Amino acid sequence: MTNDNSNAMWGGRFAAGPDAIMEAINASIGFDQRLASQDIQGSCAHAAMLAAQGIITDSDAQAIREGLLTILSEIERGEFAFSATLEDIHMNVEGRLKELIGEPAGRLHTARSRNDQVATDFRLWVRDQTDAAGEALAALSRALVAQAGAGADWVMPGFTHLQVAQPVTWGHHMLAYVEMFARDRARFADARARMNESPLGAAALAGTSFAIDREMTAVALGFDRPCANSLDAVSDRDFALEFLGAASIAAMHLSRLAEELVIWSSAQFRFVTMSDRFSTGSSIMPQKKNPDAAELIRAKIGRIVGAQVALLTVMKGLPLTYSKDMQEDKEQVFDAADALMLALAAMTGMVRDMTANVAEMEAAAGSGFSTATDLADWLVRELGLPFREAHHVTGALVAMAEGNGCDLPDLTLADMQSVHSGIGEAVFEVLGVHNSVASRVSLGGTAPMLVRQQVARWEEELG
Ligand code: ARG
């Protein structure tokens, strides 16, 4: 006889129920209820397979299915009473099924364990998030491509070391991020292909003596195939780690873009004006308009990378197969996925709504002797100077301009000729920022013509 206080699902050999602290450390229902719909989907597929294989009767499978769908709607309507005594989502659902349909509920767990069940549920959940992340990245990329199309020939300073380096186009800068987010999409897609194998039917760890059909449940759940090794199936969490890896890199990209928006929207730069919809005010300084959303996006990587480190640390050194340590896999992944999706949505809104200050950017693009390389290249091309000598001559001209407190295009022809007699009037053409960017037509360069081609390519790819 089972003691009344012991667990209804596994209490057969127990004389007493768990200590309150035991229940507190053991229960996962507080968070794994997020797996409810995946759990029910998995159980429906399992029950249908058991019936198709003659392991349970069709009428039992039918009762189980109807009961599970009732539970799903109870959960969706917020009417389900989750119980910590029943530990986790799997036993909460099964416990309620027993209340609803009685004896057939006890047949659902034939040829199955919570080990393959949770591995299946969690894969389904991570797979959904992987798809959602890909879509959100595509939406952000579309917003960036729209900005790039509008500003294919707006000129801004390009930086190295955050020092003005050479003029670039706004469109080119936007499209640099589109490249990054395309790699992120590809990483999520790769991870999805690898994770899309079904653990269901691995049972506790060794498989089962029942004549189950793992292909059938795999197909029903949208998996490409069953996992080939039952031990691996129940103990693998690579799918979650790969998701977090892809999420970490995407979050790093978001953080870099966020940082640029913080810098660009400052009073010192004024390259962009963020919309009011994505800014906040200060409670003390009435003039302030703060880029809080960008700052929060910049910070989200902390929890996302933290989740990856936490899960790697949980998994390292775990002997095969399942250990309860693995219950610690979920909260981190849930939190990281939420953070990534929120950051992507906020960034998409900000990029869509922001206004580039074209005149400010153009003025800044001409500052800091940004066309010095154009001048050196001109000396090589037109006067046949070796590049090293051209570099030296240009350096002398920069020093002269700096001494005069002016920019390169403000030097007179006589100034120029005092440094190198061969320089002619035509040099002034390459000192303008528009000519500078238009001349950078090498593959992958910043020229507006190339930016327009890339915008067309991305519009085609992103739809
Ligand atoms: N709540 C558990 C988890 O999240 C489900 C699997 C429990 N398996 C077991 N053998 N106790 O990992």
Helices (H), 53-113: 58-76, 89-101
Gap between the Cα atoms of 302 and 296, Å rounded:
10
Phi, psi dihedral angles at 198 (to 5 degrees): -95, 120
pLDDT at 197: 98
Residue nearest to atom 4 of ligand 1 (CA): 327
Q: Which two tokens stand for residue 90?
A: 């799997």
CB 70 within 8 A of CB 92: no
pLDDT, tens digit (0-9, with 9 covering 90-100), for 423-452: 999 999 889 999 999 999 999 999 999 999
Gap between the Cα atoms of 261 and 412, Å rounded:
37
Residue nearest to atom 12 of ligand 1 (CA): 327
CB 396 within 8 A of CB 376: no
Q: Which residues pair with 273 in a beta bridge?
A: 355
For the Cβ of 118 lying below 6 angstroms from any atom of ligand 1, the answer is: yes
Specify the residue for token string 């091309």: 381
Q: Which residues pair with 225 in a beta bridge?
A: 197
Confidence tier at 404 by pLDDT (50, 70, 90): very high
pLDDT at 53: 98
Query: Is the per-residue pLDDT at 221 higher than 50?
Result: yes
Query: Is the per-residue pLDDT at 141 higher than 80?
Result: yes
For the Cβ of 246 lying below 6 angstroms from any atom of ligand 1, the answer is: no
Query: Is the per-residue pLDDT at 293 higher than 60?
Result: yes
pLDDT at 115: 98
Q: Which residues pair with 163 in a beta bridge?
A: 160
CA of 335 to the centre of ligand 1 (A): 20
| H-run or E-run covering 341 | helix 330-353
pLDDT at 258: 98
Average pLDDT on 317-334 reads: 97
CA of 101 to the centre of ligand 1 (A): 24
pTM: 0.93
Confidence tier at 282 by pLDDT (50, 70, 90): confident
Confidence tier at 2 by pLDDT (50, 70, 90): very low
Query: Is the per-residue pLDDT at 84 higher than 60?
Result: yes
pLDDT at 290: 87
- Counting runs of H as helices and runs of E as strands, what totals does the chain give? 19, 6
Average pLDDT on 373-377 reads: 92
Catalytic residue numbers read 161, 282
Residue 237's SS3 state is coil
For the Cβ of 7 lying below 6 angstroms from any atom of ligand 1, the answer is: no
Q: Which of 307, 302, 300 is nearest to 328 (CA)?
A: 307
Residue 128: alpha-carbon gap to chain centroid: 13
Gap between the Cα atoms of 390 and 382, Å rounded:
11
Q: Which two tokens stand for residue 144?
A: 């960036």
Gap between the Cα atoms of 281 and 283, Å rounded:
7
Residue nearest to atom 1 of ligand 1 (CA): 88
Mean pLDDT, the chain, integer: 95
Confidence tier at 179 by pLDDT (50, 70, 90): very high
pLDDT at 4: 54
For the Cβ of 327 lying below 6 angstroms from any atom of ligand 1, the answer is: yes
For the Cβ of 257 lying below 6 angstroms from any atom of ligand 1, the answer is: no
pLDDT, tens digit (0-9, with 9 covering 90-100), for 227-241: 999 999 999 999 999
pLDDT, tens digit (0-9, with 9 covering 90-100), for 44-82: 999 999 999 999 999 999 999 999 999 999 999 999 999
Query: Is the per-residue pLDDT at 1 higher than 50?
Result: no
Average pLDDT on 383-402 reads: 95
pLDDT, tens digit (0-9, with 9 covering 90-100), for 16-39: 788 889 999 999 999 999 999 999
